[in-house]
């Protein structure tokens, strides 16, 4: 492959040329615990049933009204409040990008606590909007004073609050969240509560979301167990969703996407049992990590646990490399933000995967 000629390259935005593409690690032959995926597959009998169903689809036709059946099924599954509507995206990533597109008025910006999900900042950058990251405290709690001051100063179009947060895996104080929601509403902006890890969380904002007309609740089926299907959804007041939905590309949800999702919701008890198992495995894993010399682990409400490798030097990179050499792939997040120095993010796997991960971790410290 030859290098891109200078003339076509000059047609690409300079800030895009200076960016790094989102990197996906090669996990072939590895115990894959780097991306917060549900490690459980469908039982064989359901695999066969789904295969027959997908094979009968009219792939020669564009997606049809069946997508509205999925919207209704998701609304029922999530117990969506009255007066709300639901919008679908090709994963939460697309919804985050569409929100930036819809809210890109002159002087608009996006604000979120950091460290947090990288797509909040990336969506702002790709849309040419300013992003304001407000550091969490040393224990990864919301800095109430700093968040309120930043909202007052920057008057952002969107404030993102992940509940629980990625990569720190913790829930934040409800009273602080409420103050941020009120402050953002007072200056006319939106709040997006991102509940990507809701299947593993002890709490949800769903019971409070309809108390405010400027709050949207975003979820995904990726952590539910369908990461490969790419299906995110966002709920909010009907009038608000109607405006944002105008920037959604037609047919953004394929017939394969929506039929897989409908099938999964029809068998939601299977996925609920998987989530229950992962919460149990998380508790076992956390207990072991707490007693492991050379490691500090933080409590989790997601399907991941954040740990800090203690000691001098770049201990996270050394430990990550050691685990990878032993066939276990986790996520080194130590360069994402200064607060994450020497931190690794460990996805909760099956009991067998977690045993292998702990062995690799101990041998690599």
Judged against a pLDDT cut of 80, whether residue 19 lies above it is answered with no
* pLDDT (0 to 100) of residue 275: 96
Residue 331: which of 2, 20, 35 has the closest Cα?
35
Match domain 60-267 to its CATH number in 1.10.3720.10, 3.20.20.140, 2.20.25.10, 3.40.640.10: 3.40.640.10
Tell me the pTM. Answer: 0.93
CA distance 123 to 94: 9
Q: What CATH topology corresponds to 6-44+269-364?
A: 3.90.1150
Token pair, residue 314, equals 């770049």
**Residue that is written with structure tokens 């996990």 in the block:** 27
pLDDT, tens only, 153-172 = 999 999 999 999 999 999 99
Band of pLDDT at residue 1, cut at 50, 70 and 90: very low
Residues 22, 171, 286, CA angle at the centre, nearest 5°?
85
Cis, peptide link before residue 164, omega less than 30° from 0 = yes
Query: Average pLDDT of 287-310?
Result: 97
Q: Is residue 121 classed as helix, strand or coil in its secondary structure? A: helix
Torsion of CA 75, 301, 28, 261, to 10 degrees: -10
In the structure encoding, which two tokens stand for residue 327, read together? 């066939």
The 8-class DSSP code of residue 160 comes to E
The pLDDT mean for the chain works out to 95
- In this prediction, residues 294-323 reach a mean pLDDT of 96
Measure the CA–CA gap between 359 and 48, rounded to whole angstroms.
35
Share of the chain above pLDDT 90, in %: 90
The confidence score (pLDDT) of residue 351 equals: 97
Cite the residue boundaries of each domain of the chain with CATH code 3.40.640.10. 60-267
Residue ranges, comma separated, of all CATH 3.90.1150.10 domains in the chain are: 6-44+269-364
The tens digit of pLDDT for each residue in 222-264 reads: 998 999 999 999 999 999 999 999 999 999 999 999 999 999 9
Nearest to 92 by CA among 196, 237, 216: 196
Mean pLDDT of 170-186: 97
User: What number is the average pLDDT over the span 317-326?
Assistant: 97
3-state helix vs strand vs coil in the chain, percent to 5: 45, 15, 40
Q: Which residue has the higher pLDDT, 1 or 166?
A: 166
Q: Could you report the per-residue pLDDT of 109-145, keeping only the tens digit for each?
A: 999 999 999 999 999 999 999 999 999 999 999 999 9
The number of beta carbons lying within 10 Å of the beta carbon of residue 251 is 11
């Amino acid at each position: 492959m030859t290098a891109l000629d200078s003339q076509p390259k000059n047609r690409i935005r300079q800030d895009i040329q200076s960016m790094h593409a989102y990197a996906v690690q090669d996990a072939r032959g590895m115990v894959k615990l780097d991306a917060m995926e549900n490690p459980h597959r469908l039982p064989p009998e359901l695999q066969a049933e789904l295969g027959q169903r997908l094979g009968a689809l009219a792939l020669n036709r564009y997606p049809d009204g069946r997508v509205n059946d999925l919207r209704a099924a998701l609304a029922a599954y999530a117990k969506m409040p009255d007066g709300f509507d639901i919008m679908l995206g090709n994963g939460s990533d697309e919804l985050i990008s569409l929100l930036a597109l819809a809210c890109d008025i002159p002087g608009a910006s996006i604000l979120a606590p950091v460290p947090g999900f990288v797509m909040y900042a990336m969506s702002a950058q790709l849309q040419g909007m300013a992003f304001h990251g407000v550091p969490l405290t040393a224990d990864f709690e919301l800095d109430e004073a700093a968040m309120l001051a930043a909202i007052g100063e920057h008057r952002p179009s969107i404030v993102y609050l992940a509940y629980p947060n990625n990569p720190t895996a913790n829930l934040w104080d409800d009273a602080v969240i409420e103050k941020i929601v009120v402050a953002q509403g007072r200056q006319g902006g939106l709040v997006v509560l991102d509940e990507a890890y809701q299947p593993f969380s002890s709490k949800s904002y769903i019971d409070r979301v309809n108390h405010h007309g400027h709050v949207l609740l975003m979820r995904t089926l990726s952590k539910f167990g369908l990461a490969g299907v790419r299906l995110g959804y966002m709920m909010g007041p009907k009038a608000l969703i109607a405006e944002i939905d105008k920037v959604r590309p037609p047919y953004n949800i394929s017939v394969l996407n929506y039929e897989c999702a409908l099938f999964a919701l029809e068998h939601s008890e299977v996925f609920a049992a998987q989530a229950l198992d992962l919460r149990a495995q998380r508790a076992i894993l956390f207990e072991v990590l707490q007693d492991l010399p050379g490691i500090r682990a933080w409590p989790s409400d997601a399907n991941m646990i954040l740990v800090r490798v203690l000691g001098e030097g770049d201990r996270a990179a050394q430990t990550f490399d050691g685990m990878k050499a032993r066939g276990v792939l986790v996520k080194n997040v130590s360069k994402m933000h200064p607060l994450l120095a020497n931190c690794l993010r460990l996805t909760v796997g099956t009991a067998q995967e977690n045993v292998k991960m702990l062995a690799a971790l101990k041998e690599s410290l």
